[in-house]
Chains A and B, each alone.
Chain A
Amino acid sequence: MRDIALVAFAQTDHRRSSDELSEVEMLMPVLHDVLARTGLKTADIGFTCSGSSDYLAGRAFSFTLALDGVGAWPPISESHVEMDGAWALYEAWTKLLTGDADTALVYSYGKSSPGSVRDVLTRQLDPYYVAPLWPDSVALAALQAQSLIDAGETDEPALAAVAARSRTDATANPHAQLSGSVPQGDYLVRPLRAGDCPPIGDGAAAVVLAAGERARELCERPAWIRGIDHRIEAHGLGVRDLTDSPSARLAAEKAGAFERPVDTAELHAPFTSQEVVLRKALRLGEDVRVNPSGGALAANPLMAAGLIRIGEAAAAIHRGDSDRALAHATSGPCLQQNLVAVLEGDPR
């Protein structure tokens, strides 16, 4: 298989609201930033792929406006997934594997601020039997957290510790929306307190992928994708064991995550309780640095937060802070769908 690496990563400063910016205006500086890091221009890119959601934008075909921002002229080879940008990266990875392109630009963005995101996400559920009841994303995550507590896998102080560690680590992340000392606050939906939940906000991210020697030309220490895989579980919560994530474990196995230990993991766990599930499924020991960026508890721009995990893991390798990192992205209620990528730097 062809060697493919992340050679550049850029993201916005994530914010509670970006009323004054359109999605394109929010995205443009990130695209310019990520291309500037490699010296590439739009016309040099072999394949472009993006991830976003019409339901956040509140209009159909919202991604077409972002394409105008990319500058798709002369016409470009391009695709879009209605998924987190992590899956756009996966599609771009397969495109590079075929040899049809040597470089790819991947971006994603989401603005949660215009609507009530807890209500919006209920529209993801089974439209006939579940969505009419409007069970919101925090309530579903609370069900999962309560199952974990009932199974003796965690307790409220342990969840509070995850929140505190994430926001403390986020103080070193200039893009974080929520960092430092954040009170756990009141229950939002028992047993989850405000501190157990991700901030609601707007943001965008972009990465550049390159194959083989091209990657070495564009980046001093490329983050090589040693494996990447994703798996989905049943949609009905009633048929799932919410205290476990068999899809994350299977994706990790297929991505080769268990072949050798990783030193760093960036997990897309919007709720503290979901980090507990993922640590177990991905067999991450105490010696693994988990979410040094602060993770989704520090910034959770929907549709971009998963891609940001892969970008943060790659950036750690670029900087020399990591030699082998695991990055994870999730989608759907209670970690229904999971993607795992294993990234490595060249030996030093």
Chain B
Amino acid sequence: MSKEPVAVVGIGQTKHMAARRDVSIAGLVREAARAALDDAELTWAAVDAVVIGKAPDFFEGVMMPELYLADALGAVGKPMLRVHTAGSVGGSTALVAANLIAARVHGTVLTLAFEKQSESNAMWGLSLPIPFQQPLLAGAGGFFAPHVRAYMRRTGAPDHIGSLVAYKDRRNALKNPYAHLHEHDITLEKVRSSPMLWDPIRYSETCPSSDGACAMVLTDRAGAARAPRPPAWMLGGAMRSEPTLFAGKDFVSPRAGKDCAADVYRQAQIADPRRDIDAVEMYVPFSWYEPMWLENLGFADEGEGWKLTESGVTELDGDLPVNMSGGVLSTNPIGASGMIRFAEAALQVRGQAGEHQVDGARRVLGHAYGGGSQFFSMWLVGSERPNA
């Protein structure tokens, strides 16, 4: 029994910004969905099912908003699934949608993820006090800063690495018309002198708070054969989860992340990710996570990730470009951020990433994580169909 190969034939994003006051939630998701269908040159009627994801419902103040969004996404009379796996949700949503095709339940599936942070307050949503439970401590930055500190101590990475990542990603974003932050006057000195928020994380090394949505049309071999533009083929995909807190947990390089990557590489027959993968869109909400994930994902040995960043390997014209789109550091509609990573990976292997295209990108990894560094979802996409 073999799985049906899964192809990405349509990709759409909204223009991401701090507040999309020109559209409702329904208008926001429809903009991305319509763009993905246009890219695939398909109508709503071609869609067999809709799989939607977003981060906590408290971020907009709407409980299970997919019920209200059924009309806007053309889902009436169709199956509609709603995924929620914390920050990794955008990636997980795409993988759930891909499974519907791999299992031959459906031929063409619209998958979409969004967040409209301006409708509510994510910091508040993350900080509700619950008796007898570990508080998240003033949003995500307070939670992750100690783990960044642990990475620096463990590896001896110099203090300026985080600023290099932010400076690179913000410059990459200038080449991406959909990115939220377009800081035309960015300099490394400005990043380095920005206010310290959660030591060692500076203001310019954190992700913005964005409104935005991302959508993809996934289809089977027959659908790919009809596609007007080259598809991206899914070569491997996996999810892994581990508990939030437990004795022996490695917050710097969680085992769930390593296991998830190993599963994807096994499916895609990747022996050496550093050699066999051309570029990476990874989930870096705080700049230091670039070197941390480079190690966790097997692109660098333990303690060596920061050296790739420092030597320019992860620059857009480097040997292993990372976050060509500008990444989460430039655009963060939380629930959609994972799907944007997956979609940007697919854009690269389709050769449609525009100004931030990596020449000759044939295999690109999309990566997302969430919760207390405990939920991971990844896929590897390629320009060639996998051997079925």
Which bucket holds chain A's interface residue count?
35 or more
Chain B 61-81 interface 0/1 with A at a Cβ cutoff of 8 Å (1 = within): 111110111110001111111
Residue ID in chain A nearest B254 by CB atoms: A75
User: In the complex, what distance in Å separates the CA atom of A120 from the CA atom of B245?
Assistant: 30
Q: How many residues of B contact A (CB 8 A)?
A: 67
Interface residues of A in 67-101 (CB under 8 A from B): 67-68, 71-83, 87, 90-91, 94-95, 97-99
Q: CB of B388 within 8 A of chain A? A: no
A107 to chain B minimum Cβ distance, whole angstroms, is 14
User: In the complex, what distance in Å separates the CA atom of A332 from the CA atom of B79?
Assistant: 14
User: In the complex, what distance in Å separates the CA atom of A76 from the CA atom of B238?
Assistant: 11
List the one stretch of A159-167, A230-238, A286-294, A319-327 in contact with chain B: A230-238
Q: CB of B19 within 8 A of chain A? A: no
Identify B371's interface contact among A64, A235, A337, CB under 8 A. A64
Given contacts A75-B256, A75-B259, A120-B63, are A232 and B79 in contact (CB under 8 A)? yes
Q: CB of A336 within 8 A of chain B? A: yes
Q: CB of B310 within 8 A of chain A? A: no
Residue ID in chain B nearest A128 by CB atoms: B24
CB pair A250–B77 under 8 Å, yes or no, is yes
User: In the complex, what distance in Å separates the CA atom of A123 from the CA atom of B254?
Assistant: 36
Q: CB of A125 within 8 A of chain B? A: yes
Identify B105's interface contact among A48, A63, A94, CB under 8 A. A94
Q: Which residues of chain B are within 8 angstroms of A94 by Cβ–Cβ distance? A: 96, 99-100, 103, 105
Q: CB of A258 within 8 A of chain B? A: no
List the one stretch of A50-58, A266-274, A310-318 in contact with chain B: A50-58
Q: CB of A65 within 8 A of chain B? A: yes
Interface residues of A in 276-317 (CB under 8 A from B): none
Q: Which residues of chain A are within 8 angstroms of B76 by Cβ–Cβ distance? A: 232-234
CB pair B133–A65 under 8 Å, yes or no, is yes
CB pair A127–B241 under 8 Å, yes or no, is no
User: In the complex, what distance in Å separates the CA atom of A95 from the CA atom of B217?
Assistant: 19
A106 to chain B minimum Cβ distance, whole angstroms, is 14
CB pair B133–A230 under 8 Å, yes or no, is no
Q: CB of B368 within 8 A of chain A? A: no
CB pair A78–B82 under 8 Å, yes or no, is no
B95 to chain A minimum Cβ distance, whole angstroms, is 8
Chain B 22-52 interface 0/1 with A at a Cβ cutoff of 8 Å (1 = within): 0011000000000000000000000000000
User: In the complex, what distance in Å separates the CA atom of A234 from the CA atom of B76?
Assistant: 6
CB pair A67–B64 under 8 Å, yes or no, is no
Q: Which of B2, B63, B128, B245 has the most CB of A within 10 A?
A: B63
User: In the complex, what distance in Å separates the CA atom of A252 from the CA atom of B63?
Assistant: 27
CB pair A99–B75 under 8 Å, yes or no, is no
Given contacts A91-B96, A125-B68, are A233 and B61 in contact (CB under 8 A)? no
Given contacts A60-B58, A82-B82, are A67 and B63 in contact (CB under 8 A)? no
A236 to chain B minimum Cβ distance, whole angstroms, is 7
CB pair B259–A229 under 8 Å, yes or no, is no
CB pair B243–A233 under 8 Å, yes or no, is no
B80 to chain A minimum Cβ distance, whole angstroms, is 5
User: In the complex, what distance in Å separates the CA atom of A58 from the CA atom of B127?
Assistant: 11
Given contacts A76-B241, A78-B241, are A61 and B132 in contact (CB under 8 A)? no
Q: Which residues of chain B are within 8 angstroms of A235 by Cβ–Cβ distance? A: 67-71
Identify B241's interface contact among A2, A67, A229, CB under 8 A. A67
Q: Which residues of chain B are within 8 angstroms of A123 by Cβ–Cβ distance? A: 57, 61-63
Residue ID in chain A nearest B62 by CB atoms: A127
Residue ID in chain B nearest A247 by CB atoms: B77
Q: Which of B84, B126, B133, B371 has the most CB of A within 10 A?
A: B84
CB pair B67–A332 under 8 Å, yes or no, is yes
Chain A 152-194 interface 0/1 with B at a Cβ cutoff of 8 Å (1 = within): 0000000000000000000000000000000000000000000
B9 to chain A minimum Cβ distance, whole angstroms, is 20
Identify B67's interface contact among A48, A73, A124, CB under 8 A. A124
Residue ID in chain B nearest A56 by CB atoms: B63
Q: Which residues of chain B are within 8 angstroms of A17 by Cβ–Cβ distance? A: none
Q: CB of B242 within 8 A of chain A? A: yes
Q: Which residues of chain B are within 8 angstroms of A64 by Cβ–Cβ distance? A: 86, 244, 371-372, 374-375
CB pair A233–B70 under 8 Å, yes or no, is yes
Residue ID in chain A nearest B50 by CB atoms: A232
User: In the complex, what distance in Å separates the CA atom of A180 from the CA atom of B330?
Assistant: 60
User: In the complex, what distance in Å separates the CA atom of A9 from the CA atom of B67?
Assistant: 28
Q: CB of B222 within 8 A of chain A? A: no
Q: CB of B302 within 8 A of chain A? A: no
User: In the complex, what distance in Å separates the CA atom of A83 from the CA atom of B79?
Assistant: 13
Q: Which of A59, A60, A236, A337 has the most CB of B within 10 A?
A: A60
In the complex, given contacts A99-B3, A121-B63, A337-B80, what are 12 additional A-B residue pairs having Cβ atoms less than 8 angstroms apart? Answer: A55-B64, A58-B128, A59-B128, A64-B86, A65-B133, A75-B241, A91-B99, A131-B62, A231-B77, A231-B79, A235-B69, A331-B64
A-B contact pairs, 29 of them (CB 8 A): A53-B63, A54-B56, A55-B63, A58-B130, A60-B126, A61-B126, A64-B372, A67-B244, A73-B246, A75-B255, A76-B240, A78-B375, A79-B92, A79-B96, A83-B81, A87-B81, A87-B82, A94-B105, A95-B103, A99-B1, A120-B63, A123-B61, A127-B60, A127-B65, A128-B24, A131-B62, A232-B75, A332-B64, A336-B70
The 10 closest A-B pairs by CB, nearest first: A60-B56, A97-B103, A75-B256, A78-B241, A55-B63, A82-B84, A123-B63, A75-B242, A332-B67, A75-B240
B: which residues have CB within 8 A of A?
Answer: 1-3, 24-25, 55-65, 67-71, 75-86, 92, 96, 99-100, 102-105, 119, 125-126, 128, 130, 132-133, 238-246, 254-256, 259-260, 263, 371-372, 374-375
